Amino acid sequence: MTQEGRVPRFAVLGAGMSGILAAVKLREAGLDFTVFEKAEKVGGTWRENTYPGIACDVPSHLYSYSFELNPDWSYYCSPGAEIQDYFEGVTDRYGLERKMRFGDAVTRCEWRDGMWDVGTASGYRDRFDWVIAATGILHHPKLPDIEGLESFGGSMFHSARWDHSVPLDGRRVGLVGTGSSGVQITGALAHRVARLSVFQRTAQWVVHTDQVEYSEEQRGAFRSDAERLERIRAKMEVDFHDGFATQVLDADSGLSEGIEAQCTKDLETKIADPELREKLRPDYRAACKRLVVSHNFYDAIQHPNTELITESIERVEPEGVRTADGRLHELDVLVLATGFHVDRFMRPMRIVGRDGVLLDEVWEKRPSAYLALAVSGFPNFFMLNGPNSPVGNFSLIETAERQFAYVMQLVERVRRGELSVAEPTAEAAQRFEEERTEAAKKTVWATGCRSWYLDDRGIPFAWPFPFSRFREEMSAPRLEDYRGADA
CB contact at 8 A, 22 and 90: no
Asked whether the beta carbons of 168 and 193 are under 8 A apart, the reply is: yes
- Model pLDDT, residue 393: 62
What local confidence, expressed as pLDDT, does residue 454 receive? 87
d(C-alpha 366, C-alpha 353), whole Å: 17
pTM: 0.94
- pLDDT of amino acid 22: 98
Name the residue with higher pLDDT: 252 or 485.
252
Q: What separation in angstroms does the CA of 256 have from each of 25, 206, 250, 393, 431?
A: 38, 13, 10, 14, 30
448, pLDDT greater than 90: no
**For the chain, how far is it from start to end, CA to CA, in angstroms?**
6
What pLDDT was estimated at residue 135? 92
CA 169 to chain centre: 30
Cβ 408 vs Cβ 380: under 8 Å: no
Same fold, 9-42+96-140+341-481 and 149-210+252-336: yes
Q: Region 209-233: what's the mean pLDDT?
A: 94
pLDDT (tens digit per residue) in 264-297: 999 999 999 999 999 999 999 988 888 899 999 9
Return d(Cα 37, Cα 429) in angstroms, integer.
Answer: 29
Q: What is the pLDDT of residues 45-103, one digit of tens each?
A: 999 999 999 999 889 999 999 999 999 999 999 999 999 999 999 999 999 999 999 99
Give Cβ neighbours of residue 209 (< 8 Å, ≥ 6 apart).
77, 293, 294, 295
Residue of 1, 3, 19 whose CA lies nearest to 11: 19
pLDDT at res. 194: 98
Cα dihedral across residues 104, 119, 136, 242: positive or negative: negative
236-264 residue pLDDT tens = 888 777 666 666 777 777 767 888 899 99
Q: DSSP characters for 231-256?
A: HHHHHHHHHIIIIIHHHTT-TTSSHH
For residues 9 and 127, the answer to whether their CB atoms sit within 8 Å is: yes
**Is the per-residue pLDDT at 317 higher than 90?**
yes
Q: State how far the alpha carbon of 224 is from the alpha carbons of 56, 229, 232, 271, in Å.
A: 25, 9, 14, 43
Residue 11 predicted with pLDDT over 50: yes
| pLDDT range class, residue 486, cuts 50, 70, 90 | very low
Confidence of residue 2 (pLDDT cuts 50, 70, 90): very low
Q: What is the pLDDT of residue 6?
A: 77
**In the CATH scheme, what architecture does the domain 9-42+96-140+341-481 have?**
3-Layer(bba) Sandwich (3.50)
Q: Identify which has the larger pLDDT, 456 or 353.
A: 353
- Average predicted confidence (pLDDT) for the chain: 93
Q: What is the pLDDT of residue 1?
A: 43
Where does the pLDDT of residue 203 fall: very low under 50, low under 70, confident under 90, or very high at 90 and above?
very high
The pLDDT score that the predictor gives to residue 174 is: 98
pLDDT for the residue 138: 72
DSSP 370: B
How sure is the predictor about 487, in pLDDT bands with cuts at 50, 70 and 90? Answer: very low
Beta strands 115-120 and 106-112 are antiparallel
Mean per-residue pLDDT, 447-466: 88
Cβ proximity of 311 and 324 under 8 Å: yes
CATH of 149-210+252-336, one of 3.30.360.10, 2.160.10.10, 3.40.50.300, 3.50.50.60: 3.50.50.60
Write down the domain spans for the chain.
9-42+96-140+341-481, 149-210+252-336
Q: Is residue 439's pLDDT more than 50?
A: yes
